[in-house]
């Protein structure tokens, strides 16, 4: 795919990522799906290869690499083999959980928690969604009450990515209902804390290898030092961090669309019907032409957003556009890919079929695409 986003350092890094994917990802993908879990050895191997916690400062054991293009390389190479569940897990760790810690943890907290994100020893989760609160986070019911030198958390969360394996969970909770959006705070709950339990490993339509769970907090007592940032700052912190999460989803959609397009193009050049390759039929040919054009135009916008994120100028509205467009494009390309594969496109042994079920969540998590449209709409009305 045509892009001038990357430089020589990124291409050298790509070779490292590609080697990791060939050795540690491709041979394990079927087992991950069967187990509904990605083994910890894979995380540790990624850490040993320097693929995790890129933005962690050197003083806390990381490389201190803030150029997000290196993360894009990782996403691209994982998408190339259709390992969407692994991409989701890595993105949750680096683009979401780690992002909150880098932004809002104090020095003592960073000393405690950051090094594990580099080595692969710490898997993180973000616990926002509840059975009755998805895109509308102000409806959250999980509470945190101060009791001396501790906070006591009660409530439940659902649809939590990496919920079964998580060593550290950032919990969004109500601290003062009367203060509106200033009445929410973030807390770090560590594995093994009494009262913190995991429910079902949820049975999803796609992303089977990505463990997704229900989490329960029954009088969970955590030290006051596990408050992340300031009391009442939780909702604002979410607003600060959601642009990177949404950009990550948009990039995942883009690189998945590129991978599926390549698989499909190879297939229609090889598959024959009525005496010629099926890609030679004008109907399929016009669809391929439209898809390639859409992918390349989309890539230009995604690349712009990555550059803006690197420079600190990416807006929440532009991130919403990236998430909306990238995930919609992904769905369109994959649906066409399945159709062009014919009956084989419906067989799970073909990567396009797996991509089809894995991609559907992209238009839902990180804020539904309807919410993305509302964000863009409100911005238009303010102009």
Residue 250: closest CA among 87, 10, 13: 87
In degrees, rounded to 5, the angle at the alpha carbon of residue 133 between the alpha carbons of residues 127 and 139 is 110
CATH number of 8-122, picked from 1.20.120.1200, 1.10.10.10, 1.10.540.10, 1.10.1270.20: 1.10.540.10
245 is catalytic: yes
Give how far Cα 58 sits from Cα of 63, 66, 223, 289, 309, Å. 5, 12, 27, 46, 21
Domain 125-232 has CATH 1.10.540.10: no
Cβ-based neighbours of 109, under 8 Å, separated by 6 or more: 101, 188, 225, 226, 228
The Cα 330–Cα 313 span in angstroms is: 25
Q: Please list the pLDDT of the chain residue by residue as tens digits (383 residues).
A: 678 899 999 999 999 999 999 999 999 999 999 999 999 999 999 999 999 999 999 999 999 999 999 999 999 999 999 999 999 999 999 999 999 999 999 999 999 999 999 999 999 999 998 887 766 677 789 999 999 999 999 999 999 999 999 999 999 999 998 898 899 999 999 999 999 999 988 899 999 999 999 999 999 999 999 999 999 999 999 888 889 999 999 999 999 999 999 999 999 998 888 888 888 889 999 999 999 999 999 999 999 999 999 999 999 999 999 999 999 999 999 999 999 999 999 999 999 999 999 999 999 988 899 999 999 999 999 96
The Cα 206–Cα 357 span in angstroms is: 5
Domain ranges for the chain: 8-122, 125-232, 236-382
Which pLDDT belongs to residue 3?
81
Give the active site residue among 245, 258, 308, 328. 245
| pTM of the shown model | 0.92
Domain 236-382 has CATH 1.20.140.10: yes
* DSSP, res 1: -
Which pLDDT belongs to residue 113?
96
Q: Count the helix, strand and coil residues of the chain and give each as a percent rounded to the nearest 5.
A: 60, 15, 25
């Amino acid at each position: 795919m045509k892009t001038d986003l990357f430089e020589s350092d990124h291409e050298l890094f790509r070779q490292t990522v590609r080697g990791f994917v060939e050795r540690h990802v491709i041979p394990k993908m079927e087992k991950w799906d069967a187990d509904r879990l990605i083994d910890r050895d894979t995380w540790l191997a990624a850490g040993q290869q320097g693929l995790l916690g890129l933005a962690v400062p050197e003083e806390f054991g990381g490389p201190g690499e803030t150029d997000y293009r290196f993360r894009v390389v990782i996403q691209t190479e994982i998408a190339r083999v259709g390992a969407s569940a692994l991409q989701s897990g890595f993105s949750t760790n680096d683009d979401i959980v780690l992002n909150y810690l880098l932004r809002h943890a104090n020095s003592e907290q960073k000393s405690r928690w950051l090094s594990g994100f580099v080595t692969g020893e710490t898997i993180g989760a973000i616990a926002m969604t509840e059975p009755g609160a998805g895109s509308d986070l102000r409806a959250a019911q999980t509470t945190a009450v101060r009791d001396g030198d501790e906070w006591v958390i009660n409530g439940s969360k659902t649809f939590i990515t990496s919920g079964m394996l998580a060593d550290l969970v950032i919990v969004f909770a109500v601290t003062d209902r009367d203060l509106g959006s200033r009445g929410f705070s973030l807390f770090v709950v560590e594995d093994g804390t009494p009262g913190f339990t995991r429910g079902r490993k949820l049975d999803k339509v796609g992303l089977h290898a990505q463990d997704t769970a229900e989490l329960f907090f029954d009088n969970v007592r955590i030290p006051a030092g596990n408050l992340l940032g300031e009391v009442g700052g939780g909702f604002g912190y979410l607003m600060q961090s959601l642009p990177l999460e949404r950009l990550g989803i948009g990039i995942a959609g883009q690189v998945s669309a590129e991978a599926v397009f390549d698989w499909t193009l190879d297939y229609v050049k090889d598959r024959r019907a009525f005496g010629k390759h099926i890609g030679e039929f004008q109907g399929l040919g016009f669809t391929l032409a439209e898809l390639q054009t859409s992918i390349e135009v989309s890539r230009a916008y995604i690349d712009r957003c990555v550059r803006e994120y690197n420079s600190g100028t990416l807006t929440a509205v532009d991130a919403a556009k990236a998430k909306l467009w990238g995930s919609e494009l992904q769905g369109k390309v994959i649906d066409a890919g399945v159709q062009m594969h014919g009956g084989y496109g419906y067989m799970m042994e073909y990567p396009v079929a797996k991509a089809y079920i894995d991609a559907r969540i992209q238009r839902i998590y990180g804020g539904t695409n309807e919410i993305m449209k509302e964000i863009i709409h409100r911005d238009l009305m303010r102009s």
